[in-house]
Amino acid sequence: MMSGADRLSVYQGDITTLTVDAIVNAANSSLLGGGGVDGAIHRAAGPELLAVCRTLGGCPTGEARITGGYDLPARFVIHTVGPVWRGGDEGEAELLAACYRNSIQLAAANDCVTIAFPAISTGVYGYPAEPAAQIAVRTVADVLEHHVSIESVTFCCFSAASADLHRAAIARL
């Protein structure tokens, strides 16, 4: 059996182009679209995504919700709301880890075997990129130990710097 770390990879590029079972959306709590990766996913998925998100009643920070992928190559979009960085003393690390953990649990419950994550909370939410990458990689590797049905998790990074941080975090496992 492969360890959690053996199922992790890093890709630099556009998460909306990936052919995986589920992509994770770094959403805001309304789930009604926004900037960054959230806006890109909503634009690429088409109007059906927004229509379904309107019926979900939002999503609290650290939790996750699942919808279809609509016009995306991914079958599903898992929407999770990362914490806004407030200096690190307000539970941000635990909330960020919960985003990854809850997203994988939802993916597994929906028979997904391949998942792609963006660097949650590192854009406008201001989470420092290096600790965010370490939390993402460590949490996902730990959770994969309990979800053997998940074959691969890709950290889809928009920038080369973010991709490098995720690769370094994987190397440290």
| Residue given tokens 């182009």 in the structure block | 17
Contacts of 113 (CB under 8 A, 6+ apart): 21, 149, 150, 151, 152
State the DSSP code for 49: H
Q: Quote the CA–CA distance of 91 and 85 in Å, as a whole number.
A: 9
Which position among 6, 38, 142, 164 bears the catalytic label?
Answer: 38
User: Helix, strand, or coil here: 64?
Assistant: strand
> Quick check: 164 and 170 in contact, CB under 8 A?
no
Residue 21 annotated as catalytic: no
Active-site amino acid positions: 38
